[in-house]
Amino acid sequence: MVQNTLLGMGVGSGYPTPISGSEVQEGNFQLLDYQDAVVVSDTSFTLYNDSAKELAQRQHSFSSPVLRTDGSLAVVYHQEGTGIRIESASETLTSRNLEQKNHFSVRFLVGRLRRSDPVEKTIWESLPFI
C-alpha cells in the first residue's frame, strides 16, 4: 500500500531539516524537476522545496532503497530485493516487483527516463520485465 501526503506550497524553516525514517543512504538526496529536493530514507520518499518545506511524502517498504532521478521523474528501487517504483512530484506512477533481482533492468529504466519526453504511464506498463 502506498501512503501519500501532498502538502502544498509554502515556506519551510530551511536546511538542514529533519527527515522521515532513521537513515538516508549516500546518494539518496537529489533534485527533481531541477529544483525540488528528493530524499529517500529507509521508510519514505519525501519532496522538499528550496526552503525545506515538505511538499509530498510517500511511504515505501524498501529497507535499502536507491534513488535515481532524471528531470521530473525518480526511480526508487530496493537494492537488496526486486521492488521498484517510478515517482513524479505529484504521484507514484508505478510500483512493481521485478521477476528477479536485476540491476540491468533498473539501469535500462533510468535510460528510458532520459530518452522519454514526455513519459507516459503506458511506457512503464508495457515494459516486459516489470
> What is the three-state SS of the chain?
CCCEEECCCCCCCCCCCCCCCCCCCCCCEEEECCCEEEEECCCEEEEECCCCCEEEEEECCCCCEEEEEECCEEEEEECCCCEEEEECCCCEEEEEECCCCCHHHHHHHHHHHHHCCCCCHHHHHHCCCC
Q: For 77-101, what is the mean pLDDT?
A: 84
Q: How confident is the model at residue 73 (pLDDT cuts 50, 70, 90)?
A: confident
Among 57-71, 78-92, 97-111, where is mean pLDDT lowest? 97-111
pLDDT higher at 49 or 112: 49
Q: What is the pLDDT of residue 130?
A: 37
Distance of CA 63 to the CA centre of its chain: 14
| Grid cell digits, residue 84 | 521498484
Q: Taking 60 as the threshold, does the pLDDT of residue 22 lie above it?
A: yes
Q: What is the pLDDT of residue 36?
A: 93
Closest-CA residue to 21 (of 75, 65, 83, 55): 65
pLDDT higher at 8 or 90: 90
Q: What is the pLDDT of residue 129?
A: 38
Q: What is the pLDDT of residue 115?
A: 55
Q: Taking 60 as the threshold, does the pLDDT of residue 23 lie above it?
A: yes
pTM of the model: 0.73
